[in-house]
Structure 1
Amino acid sequence: MKKVGQKIRGAFNTRIGFFILAIALFWLKTWWAYLSKFNLGAKGSVQNLLLMINPIPTAILLFGIALYLTGRKSYIFLMIIDFLTSFWLFANVLYYREFSDFLSINLIKGSGAVSNNLGKSIIGILDPSDFLIFLDVLILVLLLAFKLIRMDIRPLKKRYAMTVSALAVVFFGFNLSFAQHDRSGLLTRTFDNNYIVKYLGLNAYTVYDGVKTANANAAKNNANASDLKSVQAYLKQNQVPLSAEYGGVAKGKNVIIFHLESFQQFLIDFKWDGQEVTPNLNKIYHASDTLSFDNFFNQVGTGKTADAEMMLENSLFGLAEGPAMVQYGTTNTFQAAPAIFNQNGYTSAAFHGDVPSFWNRDNAYKSWGYNYFFSSSYYQQKSDYSIGYGLKDKIFLKDSAQYLQQLPQPFYAKLITVTNHYPYLLDKENQSIAKTDTGDSTVDGYVQTAKYLDQSVGEFMDWLDASGLAKNTMIVFYGDHYGISGNHKKAVAKLLGKDSFNNFDNAQFQRVPLMIHMPGLKGGINHTYGGEIDVLPTLLNLTGIKDTDSIQFGQDLLSPQRNQTVAFRNGDFVSPDYTKVGSTYYNTKSGEIIKDPAAPVKTTLDELTNHVATELSLSDSVITGDLLRFYEPAWFKKVDKTKYSYKKSKALKTLKADANKDTLEKQDGKSTEDLYKTDAPELK
């Protein structure tokens, strides 16, 4: 046995031996991470085999570069590569845990827009076992430091290094061939990033993402006016008549968009600990003058809130790789809601109690035509006023009232709440309901922050009534994206009282609220299937604003003839009849998998899949190619970004000059801010 140990140690004392040891350790820890840290959904022997072996080809290729170097430099370079690839795996584990996706180059390019607020989230996401990802690096360092393995500084013939590189390429070729056989069109069609990692590995995905990013940048440089024609032809072919019943019913009314952070539809009428979690929103949802939609879905990708805003304001999908607001918000041409309303006599304003650079809003909002952007500098800041991603909602909404009341009417205003944001933390003074008991820390605090958000909405609505603004205002409440991801299936099942929670259930779980409330509006619960992409055309019809031949991928939610197929960013979809998750199709009504569809059903499924893929692709081309720079319709004047400044001193001076006299005169010229009542303990 001793001789065997000496022979093994002797083998590792060679350069090739140490290289093989490093590959073996890296492979084992990566495979472990795939199985324990990600939800890649490998099914069957082929997929599981590919998942097991796919870390090896790229590891051999990357680590093999060290073999071209001489002496100690070879070992040092190998250790650096090992650490960097391990760190990349570690970063993806953390990101995946929250977003169910992998890091992309464009996301990293835009990370400065969100990095200032990620500290608490990262602490909440970390699991002690995550650091085992660096165990192989530590083992190799210790083996060398204590000279249990000695560096082999003898020269290594270049043909050996070249053979290793060639072996890596051949090995990857076999990997790719088997992957393409099991999943045709893997690299040519739009798939979830999970597919790429499952079949080819994380490092291969990184290269794939880099190539896609480079191609996207080239697409903008090569785009021309003719590319817009195919988009226009598609939109014309799929155009549906607007709702005549609701056309112009809110003409001349103020419009307030209430951005409900991470708020899901299941919270409506949900009870916990003997209480309604959202009594104020429940009341609005069921009111006779509220149009409520119970089959309304979030359609966000990795950009989450930024994607929701892109769809809401532009009726364009977010991108598959990173937030479009960050990547294209500064430079692209848009025909967005704020500018459309501006050009129809409205004043536009956005309110957000955080730094203006978050998601590049300070630049994107200028491109979209917002007259005002009230961000963190406009609000009083104290240490206990903020949590996570900005001002607590009660404080934010109360302080926003002073600016909202001054806006010239009619106005288009968006209020972005943040307290109901992961990791769902709330100080004890503001907690008014017990946590749920699923045992999942991510899920259990969700009802506490949701109830706080609901209380904030109730206070704001009371002020609207007291100030007189409610009589002339249409308020739109919408949830921007899911609050609980599909990585918490057990906890969600327990929360909802279900025996299980599968991929089909998770697709249906993407419902978020959409409520349109206005005195005198003919309300009710509408069961049509729709998503965030459909909000803008719906609002424009309600307010009687005509935007003939607009480049918008949504349809009026109130049109009886609308297409009810809701596209998700990864190519999945839901509709009243069918749901697609990955490569699996379900009957939406029963939730059963459609295994061997009859010819007519298969044709319908193929048509729906192609429709979704086409819609996403064309929307992407509008953004990545900046195609709206080539489009100048008669009904829209191009936004001049230089006319907008969100500097506090300049904006407040303009606001004071344009202050809404109607609202102030109703209070004998006094501010209505004193009418705002809040129980926020921080303000007592």
Structure 2
Amino acid sequence: MKKLISTKMGFFSIVLVLYWLKTYLIYKVEFDLGVKGAIQEFLLFLNPLSSGLILLGITLFSKGRKVGRRLIIMQVLLGLILYANIVFYRFNSDFITLATMMQTNNFGSLGGSIISLMQWHDLLYLIDIVVLIVLYNMVKGNWSETRIKVRKPLTILAMGVLVFTINLGLAEADRPQLLERAFDRNYLVKYLGIYNFIAYDTIQSANTSTQRVLADSDDITVVENYTKTKYAEPNPAYFGVAEGKNIIKIHLESFQSFLIDFKLHGEEVTPFLNSLVHDESQNFTYFDNFFHQTEQGKTADAELIMDNSLYGLPQGSAFVMKGDNTYQSFPAIIGERQGYTSAVLHGDGKSFWNRDEIYKHFGIDEFYHEDYYDMSEDNVINYGLKDKPFFEESIKYLKEMKQPFYAHLMTLTNHHPFTINEEEATLAPAETNDKTVNNYFQTARYLDEALEQFFNDLKEAGLYDDSVIMIYGDHYGISDNHNKAMEEILGEEITPLKYSELQRVPFMIKIPGVKGQGTNHEYSGQIDVVPTMLHLLGIDAQDYILMGTDMFSEDHKDYVPFRKGNFVTKDFTYLDGVYYDNKTKEVIEEPTEEMIKQKETVLHELDLSDKVMYGDLLRFYKPNDEWKPVDVNSYSYKKE
């Protein structure tokens, strides 16, 4: 054994084994990959081997003692990649892609979140590096300065390719069309491994970048035919009822619908929002089966979907990756058709998520960012301006806007890691062992109080009565990494179906002069907001490329797709290859032909949306003879 360790190939073998075991251990401890059955468990154990043989094997071409140093450096680099994914996964339940790595300008604002996601046991992930450094210094004196014969590293690389081929074959046998239908990154990591997934993602990113070059007007015709087939006729009772009214759109950061009517320590967490839902005069219509449909872009995805009725990208954020695309967004449409002015108000940096560029492509007239607000230390926490001073200061900008206007106000305080000053917390934290979950209810209460204050300010400013007020949640606040604590809070097991049900976010709307419906149980999602709003303003949504349908229409399509290919309907839910009955919560062992057809429709719809985004297909589409494309050069968001 001592003789084996003392050789270059022996040292390589030890590095490979440590890498293999470390990666597999992290798979089991840090990631919830949904491993089922012996084959998937075997593949999870096997898949680090192929990438290890190839990536570590490359270092064997080095000369002399450089082999050992470069093996250690490679081990460090692979460890850093793995650890970055651990931290990313703890919040997002997802893996880093090339697209997200290109969004590094956003990471600077994530300092508090990243630190809170680190744990003391993470230091154990450095043990292999320490062992290798000590071992290398013990044995390097026995190594010659000559290179290892070329056939040895070539054999190692060939073994890596062979192992990957076997791995892929077994994966395809267990999960057919794994690479063709790669909506779910958990599946790719489970079957192929995290480093092979990164290689796959890099290739896919290169492929998608060529789609714009190869796209032509025939491609948008296929999409147009689909959206016109899906189109839902407007409800005559609602068509045009909001024409000429101001639109105030309020973004509830990380707010999930289970908070509505939820009590903690015997207190309502969100008493003001609850009062809107249960208002006896029924000013608002509350959609209690409304779901977020975001992916890696989270808030940016929600903005994209709710202003364009197109899905976010499967990897990364369109705000960053497709910021130069041609868009035919809601604010641009109503600006051209009905003379609306538009603004986004957000107490954060203007370049975060590339907003100062993509908003120009959306045709948004004004962007009130951190330069317009008092960002003194007392007013800022975590990601930016606290919600109460944000709403208080925003009133003056709304009063200055030319009417009718479309104003999108984005809150921030209820964002991971859900930080709030003790003196501003009016609700005691939850009492689990999970700080994230405990704090979530306190920041949600703060947001609720800020919203009540804002409503009072709107009324005092004379802007409440004659404005459409739309309130929505952008994405989940509590990921499935916190299921154990959430089970304590909710008093029930968080099954995959239950977790999907928790992806409901609020959507409620007040239309001046129109009595609200109270609670509407229609199944809908963020993709449906643009066609709904267009019809309320008396603009026929059929003219535009929209993936959603009017939520007030009798013909509304009540299936809700999610970015990974899963979806929910009134009667059943499809999750990761399994169909569930929504009433009984049981697995449907033999799905009907209609269920299978619905799955194919969802996948087709997601694919068409991706073609629009990757191919920038809207540059080929003219909604009507009067349409004028947005001139991005006519917008500037610098404070005068």
| TM superposition score category, shorter chain reference | over 0.9
Query: Deviation at 1:145?
Result: 2.8
Q: CA RMSD in A?
A: 1.2
User: After alignment, is 144-153 or 63-72 more displaced?
Assistant: 144-153
Query: 2:232, 2:242 → 1: CA distance?
Result: 21
Query: Deviation at 1:624?
Result: 0.7
User: After alignment, is 287-296 or 134-143 more displaced?
Assistant: 134-143
Query: Deviation at 1:547?
Result: 4.3
Query: Deviation at 1:152?
Result: 4.9
Query: 1:116, 1:69 → 2: CA distance?
Result: 37
Match of 2:254 in 1: 262
Q: After superposition, what is the alpha-carbon deviation per residue over 1:324-353, rounded to whole angstroms, capped at 9, x for unaligned? A: 011112x11100011112111111010000
Query: 2:169, 2:372 → 1: CA distance?
Result: 57
Equivalent in 338, 342, 345 of residue 348 of structure 1: 342
Contact 2:182–2:188 under 8 Å retained in 1: no
5+ residue gaps in structure 2? Answer: none
Equivalent in 431, 436, 456 of residue 462 of structure 1: 456
Q: Secondary structure at the match of 2:380?
A: coil
Equivalent in 413, 429, 432 of residue 435 of structure 1: 429
Match of 1:663 in 2: none
Query: 1:505, 1:643 → 2: CA distance?
Result: 47
Query: Deviation at 1:505?
Result: 0.4
Query: Deviation at 1:83?
Result: 0.9
Contact 2:242–2:512 under 8 Å retained in 1: no
Query: Deviation at 1:155?
Result: 3.5
Equivalent in 37, 40, 45 of residue 33 of structure 2: 40
Query: Deviation at 1:496?
Result: 1.2
Equivalent in 402, 409, 415 of residue 408 of structure 1: 402
Equivalent in 169, 174, 182 of residue 174 of structure 2: 182
Query: 1:482, 1:102 → 2: CA distance?
Result: 17
Contact 2:572–2:582 under 8 Å retained in 1: yes
Contact 1:144–1:151 under 8 Å retained in 2: no
Matches within 5 A, 1:61-140: 61-112=54-105, 114-140=106-132
Match of 1:324 in 2: 318
Equivalent in 202, 209, 223 of residue 194 of structure 2: 202
Query: 2:276, 2:187 → 1: CA distance?
Result: 41
Matches within 5 A, 1:585-604: 585-595=579-589, 597=590, 601-604=591-594
Contact 1:293–1:527 under 8 Å retained in 2: yes
Match of 2:361 in 1: 367
Query: Deviation at 1:233?
Result: 1.1
Contact 2:345–2:408 under 8 Å retained in 1: yes
Match of 1:642 in 2: 633
Match of 2:3 in 1: 10
Match of 2:206 in 1: 214
Equivalent in 15, 22, 31 of residue 29 of structure 1: 22
Match of 2:622 in 1: 632
Match of 2:510 in 1: 517
Query: Deviation at 1:146?
Result: 4.4
Q: After superposition, what is the alpha-carbon deviation per residue over 1:404-447, rounded to whole angstroms, capped at 9, x for unaligned? A: 11101110000000000000010111100000112211111001
Contact 1:310–1:325 under 8 Å retained in 2: yes
Match of 1:399 in 2: 393
Q: Aligned pairs, how many? A: 635
Match of 1:502 in 2: 495
Q: After superposition, what is the alpha-carbon deviation per residue over 1:523-573, rounded to whole angstroms, capped at 9, x for unaligned? A: 121100000000111111112223442001010011111111100000001
Query: Deviation at 1:591?
Result: 1.1
Contact 1:190–1:613 under 8 Å retained in 2: no
Contact 1:12–1:149 under 8 Å retained in 2: no
Contact 2:61–2:147 under 8 Å retained in 1: no
Query: 2:378, 2:142 → 1: CA distance?
Result: 56
Q: Secondary structure at the match of 1:308?
A: helix
Query: 2:572, 2:395 → 1: CA distance?
Result: 44
Query: 1:433, 1:156 → 2: CA distance?
Result: 66
User: After alignment, is 380-389 or 562-571 more displaced?
Assistant: 380-389
Match of 1:536 in 2: 530
Q: Secondary structure at the match of 1:185?
A: coil
Query: 1:318, 1:348 → 2: CA distance?
Result: 22
Query: 2:542, 2:171 → 1: CA distance?
Result: 46
Query: Deviation at 1:149?
Result: 7.9
CA 1:469 to 1:155, structure 2 compared with 1: closer, same or farther past 3 Å? closer
CA 1:409 to 1:438, structure 2 compared with 1: closer, same or farther past 3 Å? same
Which amino acid letter does the alignment assign opposite residue 339 of structure 1? A
Query: 1:131, 1:207 → 2: CA distance?
Result: 27
Query: 1:10, 1:152 → 2: CA distance?
Result: 14
Query: 1:180, 1:515 → 2: CA distance?
Result: 44
Query: 1:154, 1:633 → 2: CA distance?
Result: 69
Q: Secondary structure at the match of 1:613?
A: helix
Q: After superposition, what is the alpha-carbon deviation per residue over 1:620-672, rounded to whole angstroms, capped at 9, x for unaligned? A: 111110001011222532100010111111xxxxxxxxxxxxxxxxxxxxxxx
Q: Secondary structure at the match of 2:374?
A: coil
Query: 1:301, 1:226 → 2: CA distance?
Result: 28
Q: Secondary structure at the match of 2:151?
A: helix
TM-score in terms of structure 1 length: 0.91
Query: Deviation at 1:274?
Result: 2.2
Q: After superposition, what is the alpha-carbon deviation per residue over 1:8-66, rounded to whole angstroms, capped at 9, x for unaligned? A: 12101111111110000011111110000000111111000110111011101111111
Query: 1:286, 1:151 → 2: CA distance?
Result: 78
Contact 2:253–2:412 under 8 Å retained in 1: yes
Query: 2:142, 2:609 → 1: CA distance?
Result: 57
Q: Secondary structure at the match of 2:486?
A: helix
Equivalent in 522, 545, 551 of residue 557 of structure 1: 551
Are 1:307 and 2:307 counterparts?
no
Which amino acid letter does the alignment assign opposite residue 58 of structure 1? S
Contact 1:290–1:521 under 8 Å retained in 2: no
Which amino acid letter does the alignment assign opposite residue 551 of structure 2? L
Contact 1:13–1:152 under 8 Å retained in 2: no
Q: After superposition, what is the alpha-carbon deviation per residue over 1:253-275, rounded to whole angstroms, capped at 9, x for unaligned? A: 10000000000001111111221
Q: After superposition, what is the alpha-carbon deviation per residue over 1:120-175, rounded to whole angstroms, capped at 9, x for unaligned? A: 00111001222323321221012123459854544321111111111111111111
Query: 1:486, 1:585 → 2: CA distance?
Result: 20
TM-score in terms of structure 2 length: 0.98
Contact 1:71–1:152 under 8 Å retained in 2: yes
Query: 1:150, 1:421 → 2: CA distance?
Result: 55
Match of 2:289 in 1: 295
User: After alignment, is 343-352 or 184-193 more displaced?
Assistant: 184-193
Match of 1:616 in 2: 606
Q: Secondary structure at the match of 2:334?
A: helix
Query: 2:325, 2:246 → 1: CA distance?
Result: 28
Query: 1:172, 1:414 → 2: CA distance?
Result: 49
Query: Deviation at 1:370?
Result: 0.6
Contact 2:245–2:466 under 8 Å retained in 1: yes
Q: After superposition, what is the alpha-carbon deviation per residue over 1:567-625, rounded to whole angstroms, capped at 9, x for unaligned? A: 00000011011111111110112211112x1xxx4311211111110111101111110
Query: 2:18, 2:142 → 1: CA distance?
Result: 18
Which amino acid letter does the alignment assign opposite residue 638 of structure 2? K
Query: 1:205, 1:131 → 2: CA distance?
Result: 25
